[in-house]
Amino acid sequence: MKNKLWICIMLVILLCIVGCQTAVNTGGNPDKKTNKQNTEEMNIIENEGDIESDPFPVTVHSADRSVVINKRPDYILPLSLDVTEIVLELVEPSKIVAISQSVEDPQLSTHTEKAKEIDNRVSSAVNIDPEEILSFNADLLLLTKMHGQEEEASTILNQVDLPVITFNAMGTVDAF
């Protein structure tokens, strides 16, 4: 456990160094060609709109397919704890319609206080109920496929006209 903590700390330090180096190489201007090329090379997001006025629609390449997000999501539903942790770092809690019940456990989550601002909870990722998920009227679903049961829920949810971005589990630093 101690080794994993050190690996994570070193990874964060490395990312900070690389980020600072990129800022120095581009003169602190994130719009220079270097950063744009990096995004295109990673093949994570293709922007189909005009960046200056409205970046949407956006195509996101997820674990099992490409997903088009036509407008900025107002109601996001992260279905797994790991995705919930990331979303809580990036988005105001008012944009999140529900989160995993496990976010309330301080042994599992680093955002227990922020999670209190979100009223609704969903079953854990191993017990995803598509009907329950659809009842929240989210306009973006985020899901990590880790336990196997998520695959079935993802298949059902992908049949609805709703963007579902799935991520493969990252169990090692190399996979991350």
pLDDT attached to residue 168: 79
Q: Which residues, given as ranges, of the chain have pLDDT below 50?
A: 20-27, 29-51
pLDDT attached to residue 65: 83
Residue carrying structure tokens 């490409």: 66
Instruction: Say how far residue 163 (Cα) sits from the centre of its chain.
Output: 13
pLDDT attached to residue 97: 96
Query: Could you tell me the pTM of the whole model?
Result: 0.64
- Residue 79, class by beta-carbon neighbours within 10 Å (0-12 exposed, 13-18 middle, 19+ buried)? buried
pLDDT attached to residue 112: 92
